[in-house]
Structure 1
Amino acid sequence: MFTYLPILALVVLFLAAALKVLNEYERGVIFRLGRVIEAKGPGLIILIPVIDRMVKVSMRVLTLDVPNQDVITKDNVSVSVNAVVYFRVVDPVRSILEVEDYMYATSQLAQTTLRSVCGGVELDELLSHRDKVNDQIQSILDEHTDPWGIKVSTVEVKYIDLPQEMQRAMAKQAEAERERRAKVIGAEGEYQAADRLTEAAKIISAYPQALQLRYLQTMREMSAESAASTIIPIPLDFVTLLQSMSGNTAAGNAITKKDTDNT
């Protein structure tokens, strides 16, 4: 019985070295005597000890945080920009053969692409059209990483850090824009009010009794208020009547004086 113990131990060691289990999201690139055979997995993988070597590759979506990059935009504004990149390996063989470390290579490429794209647009476009910038960065990264067997799915610019001077200038610009809109809205309201008053004047000129009714309504509204003193407005017709009467009186006096002088 003790004679079979070494053989049993060798069998156990052989199986431990030959049998590998890969998860559902993993693939194994098999090298046999230094040459790539194929990518295997998931499940149970049988390797030849000493001859075969396996490199595991994760097929899940990977998240790459691009650190802050100092960028000078097209309109010569210095900003600090960072982003996040989502990508996954679609060809495990090429991701091992074509590049030494696809994670590091993608990170460096993302940093240079972020600086290049953000440096080619103006600050207003970078702030207001961020989706366009994201799509442009994603397209460039996907094109350059395709030979590595990597698919870049999404790129998002997370944060844009502006200098304090630029923030104050943008705040002043926004405040001036709000004041301009307020003045335009006020002028539009005055124009509409003048238009309505013109229409009301046309109606009142056609029906003079409407002015008297409006005068009585105004008196009623003023009498309803609890005020110490009440100001009663004089109708414009009454003022016109007084002016006409004073004009007639002055003309009559002038005629009488002229007659007296002639006598």
Structure 2
Amino acid sequence: MTAAIIAAAVAVVVVVVLVFSVTVLREYERGVVFRAGRVRPLYGPGIRLLVPLLDRLVRVDQRVVTLTIPPQEVITKDNVPARVNAVVMFRIVEPVKAIVAVENYSVATSQIAQTTLRSLLGRADLDTLLAHREDLNQDLRTIIEKQTKDWGVEVQVVEIKDVEIPESMQRAMAREAEAERERRAKVINAHGELQASEELRQAADTLSRSPASLQLRYLQTLLELGADQNSTVVFPLPVDIITPFLRSAFDRGRPDGAG
């Protein structure tokens, strides 16, 4: 009976040792093992054995992590206050560095992203923030990744999600956009008038070289007026035709002896 008790105790000890010694890493996980405080070679996925009381395993997830940057209060280069939030997507490419080089890579990446967002947007004006967001996203990614590269963190995507500006500024921007549209409309109208005047000048030059063409144009105008069955008929006369009659009538109406 004593031997049976000893065998049972040994079996229990073996089971306990195996429970604490055997671990399973998933396909997307890597294991950073510290044996007596020193880093061991990286453990890949599968069944792994640990030395009880000496080994400590830290699991590192290598999947893409989505990190939301909370809204940040920024002052743009042209002194416009705005609230900007963004999203950062990153993954661990060097698990040992992510554990050894920084205390908490997720928190550190979030803090670097917030600081970089405020700093970079403070050097850009509001128009750049609204119209050139892709360029700002690329600059943010480059600056953040430069800081996190030493931690084994690869920043894949940085996107500015939303930009909130004061309501008064929104109304001012709406008035500015309306004024710009009116300016463009006036410029287009002026260009149209210029082109029309040029075409009319060319038409006048063509008609002046052929008096018969001018008469035909008069007759065509009368035909168009008659097609509408109007009671009033307008007959156009060139000024050079009626000028001699007007001058003669003016001369007869002048008092005698007038110079």
Q: Does 1:181 align with 2:212?
A: no
- Measured on the aligned residues, the alpha-carbon RMSD in Å equals 2.3
Alpha-carbon separation, structure 1, partners of 2:66 and 2:134: 19
Alpha-carbon separation, structure 1, partners of 2:250 and 2:74: 85
Mean Cα deviation higher: 157-166 or 123-132: 123-132
Shift in alpha-carbon separation, 1:232–1:92, aligned structure 2, 3 A: same
Alpha-carbon separation, structure 1, partners of 2:246 and 2:178: 56
Shift in alpha-carbon separation, 1:242–1:121, aligned structure 2, 3 A: closer
Alpha-carbon separation, structure 2, partners of 1:17 and 1:77: 59
Q: Does 1:122 align with 2:132?
A: no
Secondary structure in 2 matching 1:132: helix
Q: CA offsets per residue over residues 93-142 of structure 1, 9 Å max, x none?
A: 11111111111111111111111111112222222222222222212211
Contact conserved, 2:112 with 2:144, CA < 8 A, in 1? Answer: yes
Query: Residue type matched to 1:71 in 2?
Result: V
Secondary structure in 2 matching 1:197: helix
Instruction: Give the match for residue 233 of structure 2.
Output: 232
Instruction: Give the match for residue 244 of structure 1.
Output: 244
Instruction: Give the match for residue 110 of structure 1.
Output: 113
Secondary structure in 2 matching 1:39: coil
Q: CA offsets per residue over residues 123-172 of structure 1, 9 Å max, x none?
A: 22222222222222212211111121111122111111111111111111
Percent of aligned pairs sharing the same letter: 48
Alpha-carbon separation, structure 2, partners of 1:12 and 1:126: 62
Contact conserved, 2:222 with 2:235, CA < 8 A, in 1? Answer: no
Alpha-carbon separation, structure 1, partners of 2:211 and 2:4: 130
Matches within 5 A, 1:148-163: 148-163=151-166
Query: How many Å apart are 1:192 and its aligned residue?
Result: 0.4
Q: CA offsets per residue over residues 43-88 of structure 1, 9 Å max, x none?
A: 2211122221111001111111001011111221111111111111
Query: How many Å apart are 1:178 and its aligned residue?
Result: 0.5
Q: Unaligned 5+ residue runs, structure 2?
A: none
Q: Does 1:48 align with 2:51?
A: yes
Instruction: Give the match for residue 96 of structure 2.
Output: 93
TM-score, normalised relative to structure 1? 0.87
* Aligned residue pair count: 252
1:165 is aligned, of 168, 185, 190, to 168
1:70 is aligned, of 63, 68, 73, to 73
Alpha-carbon separation, structure 2, partners of 1:209 and 1:54: 104
Alpha-carbon separation, structure 1, partners of 2:100 and 2:246: 111
TM-score, normalised relative to structure 2? 0.88
